[in-house]
Amino acid sequence: MSPGRSPARDAVAVLAWRLGLGPLLGRRVLLLTTRDGSEGRRRTVLPYRSAGGTIYLLARDPDTGWRRDLAARPDATIQAAPGPRGVTARAVTAPAEASGAAGLFARRPPADLIALEPTGRPTPPMTPPGLVWLWPALAALLALRAVIRGRRR
């Protein structure tokens, strides 16, 4: 795991996506779903920048799970503010593109840059917002609590 990365923070961010808060989070970070070596899915939350329809990621540590996954199978799914989409990853090697993409990030010099471009090939399934139902359930419970408290007074 790279410095500054926290599995707990990623777990909270994935939970927020499942609760339907992805459009709020997706303006600064994306949820990357890759296929890991055991045919499972790995979900990683990463900051990103975009330019000209390409999404760029900074990859400081070459030994992270998501980098190994993309090296083995470059097709992935991202979820960001515009919505989910299938992408293919590639390393940014052209000097002009690397220079332009590096300028999108405040930190310099960047480590490796990974470009994610739209693809029509099959990609891992997205993380569905399957816990959105909790919001109305929570609202109903709070309303019920208010009614019960009102009767006690």
User: pTM (2 decimals)?
Assistant: 0.73
Mean pLDDT, range 52-75, rounded to an integer: 88
Checking if the pLDDT of 1 tops 80, the result is: no
| 59 within domain boundaries | yes
Q: Domain with 41 in it: what CATH number?
A: 2.30.110.10
| 63 within domain boundaries | yes
Q: By C-alpha distance, which of 1, 5, 3, 28 is closest to 16?
A: 28
| 146 within domain boundaries | no
More confident residue, 99 or 25: 99
Domain enclosing residue 40, as ranges: 7-127
Contacts 24+ apart (CB under 8 A), 65-68: 65/34, 65/36, 66/32, 66/34, 66/42, 67/114, 68/37
- Structural domain count, the chain: 1
Amino acid (1-letter code) at residue 108: R
Mean pLDDT, range 15-34, rounded to an integer: 79
- Please provide the average confidence, as pLDDT, over all residues in the chain: 80
| 82 within domain boundaries | yes
